[in-house]
């Protein structure tokens, strides 16, 4: 029971915990915190079988749960995991518990904080598991609300401003996504032959639905896998003016090979709708791509949509900053990889140049901004912008190495930046300020804290032997592979130098030199704080030495995706 | 059906009439503190009307010689009116601004408005339309000015009367033109005759024979009638009365006015479009010709309404005024459905209405309960109100999230279906209108969440104790909030209901 519905349990266990917490009297703060921690433990426990049973050679979806939700409109409850999402799910599960432990010090409105946090975790899990466009959107929006309250109620002095800014920015992006969802749905149409019908009948559709769909001229779908198949197919149809040549320029991977056969048997020769042909439609599809891109870019955040992030980070409580940087930012890049790329592959090839440019701008702009900061948290926030630039660059090159590097960097940045924010939280709880120039010489006073911070900083700047290195290395390797992008690779390497400069300079200002007398009695890191940092530290070092366990998780799916792009590029024009 | 036979299908209306007369008489015998008790027979009467309406069901036959029709569309709106009237009567008991000595009148007028709304939604004769609009208007004027000693209330009523008078004058001009052109007052007959060759341009009588009518008078008749209906729906540029009336009237009345007349206005508009201005097509209804095509005009009104409503709401600090502008914005969204007038868009509009009633009334009822203790509708006074009453605060958040149109609430599904119907129409030709609406939704987040910000992100003032409300009242609001969340997951029953109303 539990194993069959593993993903459902992972998504809804936190939600159930949140509901249960509402029935605990608000004065029982310790009970609420413990119960929240126990609830957050459930996804971690469940992620063990997920990790162990995940078939690393399989490129497609695993642990699939697929049933109808609103059958009349073909909205489905469709969950699944592939190499792209599994690392994000593991990261979310881990950070969920870590953040609850990190929030132990919360004393105000405990009964509000922990249920909202668990609701947030449910939403995040849902986003990474959902394979139905509507389901994805619902989870995506579900996260906004708890995040608004968590920043707005438990945040710093300018929390109200930061909370609504975060909300407005993200909502502006997601309404664009909604528009694209609707456009996709109403323009999707799959021929209903026997194979498709058998497939759909397994999900739970009945003859009545098929009859209705036939009357409308085809099966409309919110199913992301079906939509992506359809996009590839349409691309082939456009290129061949309605006929599908199976022999010429065959697809390169097994999956697209299978697709080509399916095209023959399943779709036959659907008359090509007129709007698929002309240039106008290219514009339309480009608009769809841009709409999705802006929606996701706000979340990443990609320059120039990044201005909400420093505000939100600085005002959010420590644990929420961790979630924000560790998981929420990844949703932007995840969305591009999960939705934009598969649904609009040809447009992805078309737009990869501008995306790479924006990625490099992100890297350099984020790094320079970070250098100028005197607030430690703001520095980490800008370093996040810079590091998400590496992810985007990896995604923009569309090659195997680049995509793998980008997703690896997503995971690594999630762990490293979580450490950085936790570390900032530790010092802020003691000193009650975050002014980089207001410390000095702490290294001797708090050696353990200093050591962990140094490791986290080195991991962040990509020192070999720590996890940050691998993601960046693969990204640059991948970028160098594409001759047109070599300039970006060089600019990116320059970004690493700037990153090293601001991180080392910060280390020097905070931990070295003469001890600031104000902090002569600064306390060393506590056991609880250690408990939040240690698991992340282990991951950073282990993955740094031996990245294969993570890399092998993501490889199959991403190689498959990059093969599609390789094939598209070999075809020439869009 | 003749007059006598019609009476059997007229039972809900008769129940309302009976209750009205009973409460009016009862109020003469009740003294002082007993007067608020009038809510009991009122609520009982409305419940009886609901039961009778459910039992009678929609019959689809013209009643009273074709004056009104008890079709499924009318039935849908009748249920909406009855439900909201019942809610308003129940929550008005907690209202701080209805003096106990006037509660009898309040109930009488609520029943009278409901009756008028019934006729607005079911009229199929243009004279009946006018009568119904006037009944609703005149009783609403009284309700708006209900707080007798309050200057704002009086101002609101006067503004309402003046605007309303002009609007109905304009409307009757349009009606006169329609009658003059077609010689009939029956909506369906007017539609038929407008479509006949002599009126549509290529006349059998030929050009220059005097009876060839070009589009101008037809279009002007449409526009004039539309203006009268737009006034009831508070659609820009006929919305000016709305904020003042909403702010000045007692909150319970405001709640009712924000739902009832608006819904009835839309029912009327839909009926007018379906019978008179448009002809049936494969997907729904279309204009007879380009010259009398109202869709561009309606789209313009829709954009104006939602934008003016939302932009004006941003700066409001009075909750009732804020919600007034918000309801104007919602009229703008709803109008999108009339722009394309397909079956799907009308279904989506009805679905939207069902959700809108719950979320809008929910927000008003919460404010009634909170204002009882806080003693004001000024937003700054509500600082930390959510902490002072977590149940009411959380319910209000759900209502506001739903009004914004975010998942997981019914408000999202409502917008989803409405926008979806526009995007699928004519290969996405109206996508620009959806984009305007989406931008507007983002703007609306700002002011809806300015309420959330004040009640939850700000702390209550020192010494402000918890706000208590009756547990039944709280449970009712909790149920409404829960219903909105459930509608995200299971909304088919409501959608099927809406689809049934258009069969």
Whose CA is closest to B396, among B441, B354, B362, B369? B362
> Residue A152 and residue B428: Cβ atoms within 8 Å?
no
pLDDT computed for residue A239 by the predictor: 65
Q: A397-407: per-residue pLDDT in tens?
A: 888 888 999 99
pLDDT computed for residue B213 by the predictor: 60
What is the rounded average pLDDT of the residues B296-325?
91
Q: Which residues contact A451 (CB under 8 A, 6 or more apart)?
A: none
Q: Which residues contact B457 (CB under 8 A, 6 or more apart)?
A: A149, A152, A153, A159, A160, A163
Angle between helices B251-272 and B72-92 (to 10 degrees): 170
pLDDT computed for residue A238 by the predictor: 65
Distance spanning both ends of chain B, measured CA to CA: 21
Q: Which residues contact B208 (CB under 8 A, 6 or more apart)?
A: none
Are B460 and B387 in contact by the 8 Å Cβ rule? The answer is yes
- Return the percentage of chain B with pLDDT > 70, whole number: 96
> Residue A178 and residue B435: Cβ atoms within 8 Å?
no
Q: Is residue A378 part of a domain?
A: yes
Query: Per-residue pLDDT for B349 more than 80?
Result: yes
Q: Which residue of A has its CA nearest to B437?
A: A175
Say yes or no: A473 contacts chain B, CB-CB below 8 A: no
Whose CA is closest to A409, among A429, A386, A427, A425? A386
Say yes or no: B456 contacts chain A, CB-CB below 8 A: yes
Q: B444-461: per-residue pLDDT in tens?
A: 999 999 999 899 888 888
Q: Which residue of B has its CA nearest to A170?
A: B442
Instruction: Specify the residue for token string 């009367």.
Output: B161
Residue spans per domain, chain B: 295-503
CB-nearest partner of A167 from B439, B445, B456: B445
Are B26 and B104 in contact by the 8 Å Cβ rule? The answer is yes
C-beta neighbour count of A280 within 10 angstroms? 9
Q: Is residue A225 part of a domain?
A: no
The structure tokens listed for A266 are 């399943």
What is the rounded average pLDDT of the residues A548-570?
85
pLDDT computed for residue A256 by the predictor: 45
Q: A94-151: per-residue pLDDT in tens?
A: 999 999 998 888 888 888 899 999 999 999 999 999 999 999 999 999 888 899 999 9
Spacing of C-alpha A513 from chain mean position:
39
> Residue A72 and residue B428: Cβ atoms within 8 Å?
no
Q: Is residue A247 part of a domain?
A: no
Are B46 and B98 in contact by the 8 Å Cβ rule? The answer is no
> Residue A160 and residue B457: Cβ atoms within 8 Å?
yes
Query: Per-residue pLDDT for B15 more than 60?
Result: yes
For residue A340, the 8-state DSSP code is I
Q: Is residue A382 part of a domain?
A: yes
Q: Which residues contact B209 (CB under 8 A, 6 or more apart)?
A: B203
Q: A49-87: per-residue pLDDT in tens?
A: 988 888 888 888 888 888 888 887 888 899 999 988 999
Whose CA is closest to B295, among B448, B451, B416, B425? B425
Provide the pLDDT confidence category of residue B278 given band limits of 50, 70 and 90.
Answer: confident
Query: Per-residue pLDDT for A273 more than 60?
Result: no
- Pairing status of strand B68-69 against strand B285-287: unpaired
What is the rounded average pLDDT of the residues A385-405?
90
Q: Is residue A275 part of a domain?
A: no
Are B270 and B338 in contact by the 8 Å Cβ rule? The answer is yes
Query: Measured between CA atoms, how close is B447 to chain A, in angstroms?
Result: 10
What is the rounded average pLDDT of the residues A521-550?
88
Whose CA is closest to B230, among B284, B280, B147, B304? B304
DSSP string for residues in B434-460 = HHHHHHHHHHHHHHHHHHHIIIIISPP
CB-nearest partner of A186 from B408, B424, B450: B424
Query: Per-residue pLDDT for A277 more than 70?
Result: no
What is the rounded average pLDDT of the residues A14-33?
88
What would the 3-class secondary structure string for A230-288 be? HHHHHHHHHHCCCCCCCCCCCCCCHHHHHHHHHHHHHHCCCCCCHHHCCHHHHHHHHHH
How far is it, in rounded angstroms, from Cα A530 to Cα A534? 6
Spacing of C-alpha A203 from chain mean position:
28
pLDDT computed for residue A193 by the predictor: 72
How far is it, in rounded angstroms, from Cα A4 to Cα B329? 46
Q: A408-418: per-residue pLDDT in tens?
A: 999 999 999 99
Are B225 and B171 in contact by the 8 Å Cβ rule? The answer is yes
Say yes or no: A167 contacts chain B, CB-CB below 8 A: yes
pLDDT computed for residue A237 by the predictor: 66
Q: Which residues contact A147 (CB under 8 A, 6 or more apart)?
A: A120, A166, A167, A320, A324, A328
Q: Find chain B residues with C-beta within 8 A of A69's C-beta.
A: 489
Buried b (16+ CB within 10 A) or exposed e, A508-533: ebbbeeebbeebeebeebeeebeebb
Total domains in chain A come to 1
How far is it, in rounded angstroms, from Cα B415 to Cα B403? 10
How far is it, in rounded angstroms, from Cα B453 to Cα B450? 5
pLDDT computed for residue A241 by the predictor: 55
- Return the percentage of chain B with pLDDT > 90, whole number: 36
pLDDT computed for residue B219 by the predictor: 86
Query: Per-residue pLDDT for A269 more than 50?
Result: no
Of A219-228, B127-136, B428-437, give the range with the top mean pLDDT.
B127-136
Are B84 and B46 in contact by the 8 Å Cβ rule? The answer is no
Say yes or no: A186 contacts chain B, CB-CB below 8 A: yes
Provide the pLDDT confidence category of residue A258 given band limits of 50, 70 and 90.
Answer: very low
Q: Is residue A206 part of a domain?
A: no
Instruction: Specify the residue for token string 């762990």.
Output: A415
> Residue B428 and residue A148: Cβ atoms within 8 Å?
no
Say yes or no: A149 contacts chain B, CB-CB below 8 A: yes
Are A326 and A91 in contact by the 8 Å Cβ rule? The answer is yes
Q: What angle do CA A560, A139, A59 make, to 5 degrees?
A: 15
Best A25, A175, A188, A317 member to test B by mutation, with max B CBs in 10 Å, is A175
Using CA of residue A261, residue A266, residue A268, residue A270, what is the dihedral sign? Answer: negative
Position with higher pLDDT, B50 vs B208: B50
If you average pLDDT over every residue of chain A, what do you get? 84
pLDDT computed for residue A240 by the predictor: 61
What is the rounded average pLDDT of the residues B201-227?
66
ipTM (interface predicted TM):
0.84
Whose CA is closest to B231, among B282, B299, B292, B301? B301
What is the rounded average pLDDT of the residues B403-407?
90
Whole-Å CA distances, B154 to B104, B110, B159, B193: 19, 18, 9, 45
Provide the pLDDT confidence category of residue B302 given band limits of 50, 70 and 90.
Answer: very high
The structure tokens listed for B392 are 């009411």
Query: Per-residue pLDDT for A555 more than 60?
Result: yes
Query: Measured between CA atoms, how close is B70 to chain A, in angstroms?
Result: 29
Position with higher pLDDT, A345 vs B353: B353
Q: A139-194: per-residue pLDDT in tens?
A: 999 888 899 999 988 888 888 898 889 999 988 888 888 888 888 887 777 767 77
CB-nearest partner of B428 from A153, A176, A183: A183
Provide the pLDDT confidence category of residue A2 given band limits of 50, 70 and 90.
Answer: low
Could you tell me how many CB contacts below 8 A there are between chain A and chain B?
79
How far is it, in rounded angstroms, from Cα B166 to Cα B148? 24
Q: Find chain B residues with C-beta within 8 A of A145's C-beta.
A: 401, 406
Query: Per-residue pLDDT for A394 more than 60?
Result: yes
Say yes or no: B408 contacts chain A, CB-CB below 8 A: yes
Whole-Å CA distances, B462 to B171, B197, B383, B388: 54, 75, 11, 12
pLDDT computed for residue A275 by the predictor: 45
Whole-Å CA distances, A312 to A170, A377, B335, B437: 12, 11, 37, 27
Query: Measured between CA atoms, how close is B336 to chain A, in angstroms?
Result: 15
CB-nearest partner of B457 from A163, A179, A183: A163
Q: Which residue of A has its CA nearest to B445?
A: A168
- Return the percentage of chain A with pLDDT > 90, whole number: 29
What is the rounded average pLDDT of the residues A17-26?
88
Range scoring the smallest mean pLDDT among A229-238, A275-284, A356-365, B480-489: A275-284
Q: Which residue of A has its CA nearest to B453?
A: A160
pLDDT computed for residue B224 by the predictor: 92
Query: Per-residue pLDDT for A274 more than 70?
Result: no
Provide the pLDDT confidence category of residue B197 given band limits of 50, 70 and 90.
Answer: low
Distance spanning both ends of chain A, measured CA to CA: 46
């Amino acid at each position: 029971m539990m194993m069959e519905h593993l993903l459902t349990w992972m998504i809804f266990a936190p939600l159930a915990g949140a509901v249960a917490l509402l029935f605990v009297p608000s004065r029982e703060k310790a009970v609420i915190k413990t119960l929240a921690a126990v609830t957050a433990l459930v996804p971690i426990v469940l992620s063990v079988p997920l990790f162990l049973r995940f078939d690393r050679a399989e490129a497609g979806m695993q642990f699939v749960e697929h049933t109808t939700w609103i059958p009349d409109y073909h909205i489905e409850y469709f969950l699944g995991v592939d190499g792209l999402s599994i690392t994000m799910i593991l990261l979310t599960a881990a950070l969920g518990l870590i953040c609850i432990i990190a929030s132990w010090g919360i004393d105000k409105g405990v009964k509000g904080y922990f249920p909202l946090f668990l609701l947030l975790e449910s939403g995040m899990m849902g986003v990474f598991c959902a394979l139905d466009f509507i389901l994805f959107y619902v989870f995506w929006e579900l996260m906004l609300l708890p995040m608004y309250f968590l920043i707005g109620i438990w945040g710093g002095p300018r929390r109200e401003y930061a909370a609504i800014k975060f909300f407005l920015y993200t909502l502006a992006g997601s309404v664009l996504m909604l528009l694209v969802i609707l456009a996709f749905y109403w323009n999707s149409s799959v021929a209903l032959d026997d194979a498709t019908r058998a497939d759909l009948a397994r999900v739970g559709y009945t003859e009545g639905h098929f009859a209705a769909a036939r009357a409308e001229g085809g099966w409309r779908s919110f199913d992301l896998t079906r939509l992506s198949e359809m996009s590839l197919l349409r691309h082939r149809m456009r290129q061949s003016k309605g006929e599908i040549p199976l022999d010429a320029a065959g697809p390169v991977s097994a999956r697209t090979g299978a697709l080509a056969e399916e095209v023959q048997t399943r779709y036959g020769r659907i008359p090509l709708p007129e709007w698929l042909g002309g240039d106008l439609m290219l514009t339309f599809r480009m608009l769809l791509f841009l709409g999705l891109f802006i929606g996701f870019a706000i979340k990443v955040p990609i320059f120039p949509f990044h201005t909400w992030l420093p505000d939100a980070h600085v005002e959010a409580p420590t644990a929420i900053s961790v979630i924000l940087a560790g998981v929420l930012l990844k949703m932007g890049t995840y969305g591009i990889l999960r939705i934009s790329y598969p649904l609009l592959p040809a447009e992805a090839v078309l737009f990869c140049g501008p995306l790479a440019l924006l990625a490099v701008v992100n890297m350099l702009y984020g790094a320079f901004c970070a250098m100028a900061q005197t607030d430690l948290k703001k520095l980490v926030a800008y370093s996040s912008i810079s590091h998400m630039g590496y992810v985007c660059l990896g995604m923009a090159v569309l090659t195997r190495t680049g995509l793998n590097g980008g997703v690896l960097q997503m995971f690594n940045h999630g762990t490293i930046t979580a450490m950085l924010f936790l570390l900032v939280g530790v010092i802020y709880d003691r000193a009650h300020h975050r002014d980089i120039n207001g410390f000095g010489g702490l290294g001797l006073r708090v050696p353990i804290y200093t050591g962990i911070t140094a490791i986290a900083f080195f991991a962040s700047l990509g020192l070999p032997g720590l996890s940050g290195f691998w993601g960046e290395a693969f990204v640059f390797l991948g970028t160098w592979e594409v001759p047109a992008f070599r300039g970006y690779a060089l600019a990116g390497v320059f970004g690493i130098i700037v990153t090293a400069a601001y991180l080392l300079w910060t280390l020097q200002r905070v931990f070295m030199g003469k001890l600031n007398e104000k902090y002569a009695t600064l306390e060393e890191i506590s056991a609880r704080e250690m408990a939040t940092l240690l698991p992340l530290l282990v991951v950073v070092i282990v993955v740094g030495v031996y990245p294969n366990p993570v890399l092998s998780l993501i490889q199959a799916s991403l190689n498959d995706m990059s093969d599609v792009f390789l094939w598209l590029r070999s075809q020439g024009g869009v | 059906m003749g007059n006598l036979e019609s009476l059997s299908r007229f039972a809900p209306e008769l129940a309302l009439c009976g209750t009205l007369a009973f409460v009016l008489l009862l109020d003469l015998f009740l003294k002082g503190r007993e007067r608020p008790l009038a809510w009991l027979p009122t609520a009982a009467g409305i419940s009886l009307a609901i039961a009778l309406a459910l039992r009678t069901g929609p019959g689809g036959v013209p009643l009273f010689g074709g004056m009104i029709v008890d079709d499924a569309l009318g039935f849908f709106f009748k249920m909406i009116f009855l439900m909201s009237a019942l809610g308003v009567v129940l929550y008005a008991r907690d209202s701080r601004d209805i003096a106990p000595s006037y509660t009898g009148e309040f109930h009488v007028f609520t029943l009278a408005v409901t009756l008028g709304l019934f006729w607005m939604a079911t009229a199929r004769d243009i004279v009946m339309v006018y009568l119904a609009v006037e009944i609703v208007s005149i009783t609403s004027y009284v309700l708006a000015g209900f707080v007798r000693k309050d200057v704002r209330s009086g101002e609101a009523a006067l503004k309402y009367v003046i605007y309303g008078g002009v609007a109905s004058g304009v409307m009757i001009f349009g009606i006169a033109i329609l009658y003059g052109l077609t010689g009939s007052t029956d909506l369906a007959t007017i539609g038929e005759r407008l479509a006949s060759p002599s009126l549509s341009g290529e006349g059998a009588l030929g050009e220059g024979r005097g009876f060839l009518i070009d589009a101008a008078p037809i279009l002007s008749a449409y526009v004039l009638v539309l203006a009268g209906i737009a006034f009831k729906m508070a659609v820009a540029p006929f919305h000016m009365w709305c904020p003042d009336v909403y702010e000045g009237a007692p909150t319970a009345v405001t709640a009712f006015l924000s739902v009832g007349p608006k819904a009835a206005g839309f029912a009327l508009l839909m009926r007018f479009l379906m019978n008179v201005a448009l002809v049936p097509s494969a997907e729904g209804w279309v204009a007879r010709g380009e010259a009398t095509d109202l869709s561009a005009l309606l789209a313009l009104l829709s954009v104006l309404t939602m934008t003016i409503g939302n932009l004006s709401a941003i700066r409001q600090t009075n909750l009732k005024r804020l919600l007034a502008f918000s309801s104007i914005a919602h009229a703008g969204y709803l109008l999108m459905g009339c722009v394309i007038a397909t079956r799907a868009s009308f279904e989506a509009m009805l679905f939207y209405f069902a959700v809108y009633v719950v979320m809008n009334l929910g927000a008003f009822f919460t404010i009634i309960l909170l204002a009882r203790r806080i003693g004001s509708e000024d937003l700054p006074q509500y600082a930390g109100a959510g902490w002072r009453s977590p149940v009411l605060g959380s319910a209000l958040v759900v209502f506001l999230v739903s009004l914004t149109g975010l998942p997981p609430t019914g408000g999202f599904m409502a917008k989803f279906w409405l926008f979806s119907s526009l995007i699928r129409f004519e290969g996405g030709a109206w996508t620009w209108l959806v984009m305007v609406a989406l931008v507007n939704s983002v703007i609306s987040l700002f002011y809806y969440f300015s309420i959330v910000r004040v009640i939850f992100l700000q702390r209550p003032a020192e010494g402000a104790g918890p706000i208590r409300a009756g547990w039944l009242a709280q449970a009712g609001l909790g149920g409404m909030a829960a219903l909105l969340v459930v509608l995200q997951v299971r909304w088919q029953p409501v959608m099927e209901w809406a689809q049934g109303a258009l069969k």
